[in-house]
Structure 1
Amino acid sequence: MSDTSVSNGSETSEMSDDVWNDPIEIEFTEDDIAECIESIYHTHDEYINNNILHMSSPNFYEDMTNYTTEILFQTFCGAGLLLNDADDEAYDEFKDFVEDVTEVYLEFCETPLRSMKNVDADVDTNAFVHIENQLCHLQKINETQPKQKTPEWHTFRDGLLSASTLWKVFSSEAQRNSLIYEKCKGHTQRLFTNTAGAMHWGVKYEPVTVLIYEDLYQTKVGEFGCIQHPAFKYIGASPDGINIDKTSPKYGRMLEIKNIVNREITGIPKEEYWIQTQIQMETCDLDECDFAETRFGEYSEEDSFYEDDSHEYKGVILHFISRPQNTVNSNTTASSNDPIYIYMPLSVSLDKESISAWIEEERVTQRERGLALLNTIYWYLEQFSCVFIPRNRKWFQKAQPHIEELWKTIEKERKEGFEHRAAKKREPKTTVVRVDEPKTTLNSHIQSYIIENLDMTSSVRCVKMD
């Protein structure tokens, strides 16, 4: 048996009656069952050690269980302990047994679980001191970073592989090519922001999720900007936040947020998100991360917001835009085409009078900054999920060489050429189709056409400034 096995005699004895009361075809003794459990533990240990890099997969434990079932079923059949019947009934029963044993195994496994339901425990003294020192260190780093979206900031970011994109290192060849191409090409300035896309939706609702998270768990989340890994300088992470309330059991726990638009929230982190959180914890040298997923909805009209009493969390977002430069005072801070959102605190009463007063106060305040109110968004929280992801140092040890190899490729191809990494785009052809219509004396001189696949991305919206 493996030295890393998590079982002991008393645990095995307790499981004998609970897990396998109905032996498969052959009479099993207590010793047989104990040996079978030990074999399952040993095979699980072996699988994890040999496949630690694949723990990023949401199906990791399912794959592990299937592997152990297949290996041990054939072994036990060969030893005459199981009968391999034609209808697979024995196999199915044995798999059920392995699944039951696996649940116990995961409770005692030395390797951190991939994720688990949100757990909170008081931070011990040693961990508290480390967290306190580390947060102080991260804050100092944040204070010395280049200002966002300046040339210096873009140069800094171009020299890093961000945690949110590193999943591509372990994905398909096409995804790796995409990452190499993006980093070699460098930053491309955006003139406008698409506020209708799923990515922008996530950005827009991130502060709302933080407000709800802080309220639910009675904590405080701080921002720390983009952090460079202290040892592997090509790795960077921009956590959505870190718990900074020293009285909270979540003190020092990182927070990663995903605001979902059109997929199911399962409570199981997708592969790319799990990798992102592991890179963030390694970069910031913190051991815990909460992974929060939310689904928000927006009311189509103001009256629906006030009439609805079925949602515990709802509120208001004010969408401001910059006024034209020639109408802005010289001391204004508004100079970007990006939308600017102001979020109503959860402490504001949800009656119309209180909200209207808050909106008017913000309108006046932001007008002095050279901003105009474009839209008032009334939102509600439809779904909230928060799971705990522990740091997995073994995974990072296996992953880091792959990341470094890709970074060296980027450095090499920045000098020698990277155009061959570009994706082959299939652009729709714009075609003009003549429409034959009955001729009359009124339209005989007119020819009608339909333009197919016309690019409509460059559109104009007229806004009346308040």
Structure 2
Amino acid sequence: MSSDSEYLPNSSGSEGEEKEVDDNYFGFDVHRKPMKQNLLENLSESEISDITSDIYDQILEEEENHVLHISKPTFYDDIKKKVTETLFESWSTAGLFDEEDDVYQDIEDFVDETVEVYFDTISRLPKRSIREHEKPITNNSNELSAIEDKLHYLLSVDQPKQRSQEWYDFRNNLITASNLWKIFSSDAQKNSLIYEKCKCIANQTPTTQIDSKDFCNVDSPMHWGVKYEPVTVMIYESVYQTKISDFGCIQHPVYSCIGASPDGINTCPTNERYGRMLEIKNIKNRDITGIPKEEYWIQTQIQMETCELDECDFVETRIMEFDTEEEFYADTKSDYKGVVLYFLQKDAKQPSYVYMPLELGNEKEIVDDWISATKSEYRLDGLVLFSILYWYLDEFSCILIPRNRAWFQAAVPHILETWDTILEERVSGYEHRSAKKRSITVTAGSDSSNSYIVNNIQLTNSICLIKLDTEDA
């Protein structure tokens, strides 16, 4: 750890040593210096250079000692805050400014720009995420050939037949990318992961399977995301003129306890996004910030490592539904909109959705013909049309997440340690990790009646009732 004196102007008495960096890294001038602000205007170029070099050293120390923290959305802001506070305290102790001077903002502005320069030009770690316009896409012939080989391998991987015993065994012996993030979250989340992976062996069902006695809550945010994932794929393919293919659940080639099921991979060889992975989140009730949440960032890293791919487009969309058919046809502002048919089958616990292709357009006659033809087709399979959903795209965000090998190498020991615990407790017992049941208390009412109030009662939505018309839909 550097001493406070290192962060003082001209503390070394000489120019800071120039670092060996790639001058063209990310297309920026590595020797670009942050603009001096207020207090810093009184310092010499040599002093500014020394301070900048010291800041770079602090950032490098954070990178090397806390690389796992890059998964956090606040990673860069946390570094800026720590460096700012270190400089402020050092300069304050040295008496470089009076207590009444408002210099914290000056230091913070300088640090902000210095940190940005470092991560744009010097850092050997890829940026946590990149907005689309910040990094042009370039694939040479060698890269295209390597991508083709990787996709061919992924397509050739044998996968057990769904719902077979082999399929259960396969899924139960993986920590998948969608829930592996719990290892790096709170102790409670890690505990729940271990419990789920132990319990699924006892029940012989994968943790992602819906229990047979449960019905689907079609109003939940999770179901909303699943329902509109195919729509987002269609929009993505249209926006970028590409083709997305599904590859199922892939097992990591080295660490057999890790698995991933990406939402898709770009498989159009003539497209500039060829070989880029796709991860989709359909948002219902939160803001889209363009900054991937920690659990999503970790999910994409595990997917890229498992599939040996270097880039992932992280797409967030907000799909909304029109209240009426009339609103759908009256709308002239939406760039993307369409129709989803919601089918039900007797005794089926899950709804079935059929999506109208975007290329059909939205003329009423064409839409009506498609609905009529699709109803007839699915009626042969015993499906009844329950409702027609008219959707439109309200918001679209596409952020590139680069593969971070350093993060994964630092994460592997934690993953393997957790898996060892799972294997051990599958034998020795895992019941101690079950969630503590809340006790039910009965409180007498304050009036003269014989009524009571029951507190902490557990309510479950185990039945979904849907009234169907008797006439054929």
Interval containing the TM-score (normalised by the shorter chain): 0.7 to 0.9
CA contact (8 A) 2:442 2:453 kept: no
3-state SS, counterpart of residue 232 of structure 1: coil
- Secondary structure of 2:297 counterpart: helix
Amino acid at match of 2:153: H
Report whether the alignment pairs 1:462 with 2:472: no
Distance change (3 Å), C-alpha of 1:228 and 1:354: same
What secondary structure does 1:164 align onto?
A: helix
Deviation of the 1:425 alpha carbon: 3.2
The verdict on how the C-alpha distance between 1:284 and 1:158 changes in structure 2, with shifts beyond 3 A counting, is same
Q: Which moved more, 1:248-257 or 1:29-38?
A: 29-38
Q: How well do the aligned residues superpose, as a CA RMSD in angstroms?
A: 2.7
Query: What amino acid is aligned across from residue 341 of structure 1 in structure 2?
Result: Y
Counterpart contact for 1:5–1:38, Cα < 8 Å: no
User: In 1, distance between residues paired with 2:162 and 2:447?
Assistant: 52
TM-score, normalisation: structure 2? 0.86
Identical-pair percentage: 47
1:360 to 340, 349, 372: 372
Question: Does 2:418 correspond to 1:406?
Answer: yes
CA distance in 2, matches of 1:253, 1:461: 41
Distance 1:87 1:23, change over 3 A: closer
Task: Give SS of 2:128's match.
Answer: coil
Q: Is the 8 A contact 1:5 1:42 kept in 2?
A: no
Deviation (angstroms), 1:417: 0.6
Report the Cα distance in structure 2 between the residues aligned to 1:159 and 1:13, rounded to whole angstroms: 50
Q: Provide structure 2 residue ranges, at least 5 long, that are not aligned to the other structure.
A: 1-15
Q: What does 1:57-456 align with in structure 2 at a 5 Å threshold?
A: 57-76=72-91, 83-87=96-100, 89-108=102-121, 109-118=123-132, 119-141=135-157, 144-186=158-200, 187=205, 189-191=211-213, 192-323=215-346, 337-426=349-438, 455=459
CA contact (8 A) 1:434 1:450 kept: no
- 1:81-130 per-position Cα deviation (integer Å, ceiling 9, x unaligned): x7243246222211111111222222112210000102441212222111
* Separation (CA, whole Å) in 1 of partners of 2:399 and 2:175: 26
How far apart are the structure 2 equivalents of 1:295 and 1:272?
A: 19
**Which of 99-108 and 206-215 deviates more?**
99-108
Residue 46 of structure 2 is aligned to residue 41 of structure 1? no
Query: What's the counterpart of residue 7 of structure 2?
Result: none
- Change in 2 beyond 3 A, CA 1:48/1:451: closer
Decide whether the 8 Å contact of 1:2 with 1:42 is kept in 2: no
1:21, CA displacement in angstroms? 5.2
User: SS of the counterpart of 1:247?
Assistant: coil
Residue 290 (structure 1) shift: 0.5
1:368 counterpart letter in structure 2 = L
Q: Which moved more, 1:454-463 or 1:223-232?
A: 454-463
Cα distance in 1 for partners of 2:17, 2:321 equals 55
Task: Tell me how far apart the structure 2 counterparts of residues 279 and 2 of structure 1 sit (CA, whole Å).
Answer: 37
- For 1:402 and 1:396, the matched residues in 2 are separated by 10
1:435, 1:450 within 8 Å by CA — same for their partners in 2?
Answer: no
Greater CA deviation, 262-271 or 116-125?
116-125
Higher mean displacement: 209-218 or 449-458: 449-458
Structure 2 CA distance for aligned equivalents of residues 2 and 407 of structure 1 = 45
CA deviation map 1:207-235 (0-9, x unaligned): 00000011111111110000000110000
Alpha-carbon distance in structure 2 between the residues aligned to 1:431 and 1:299: 46
Amino acid at match of 2:345: S
Distance verdict in 2 for CA 1:286–1:14, change over 3 Å: closer
Q: Tell me which amino acid in the other structure corresponds to 1:460.
A: L
SS of the residue corresponding to residue 180 of structure 1 reads helix
Report the more deviating stretch, 144-153 or 455-464.
455-464
Q: List runs of 5+ in structure 1 lacking aligned partners.
A: 325-335, 438-446
Contact 1:115 1:387 in 2 (8 A): yes
Shift of 1:4: 6.0
What TM-score do you get using the length of structure 1 for normalisation? 0.87
**Paired AA for residue 212 in structure 1:** I
Give the Cα–Cα distance (whole angstroms) in 2 for the partners of residues 431 and 321 of structure 1: 43
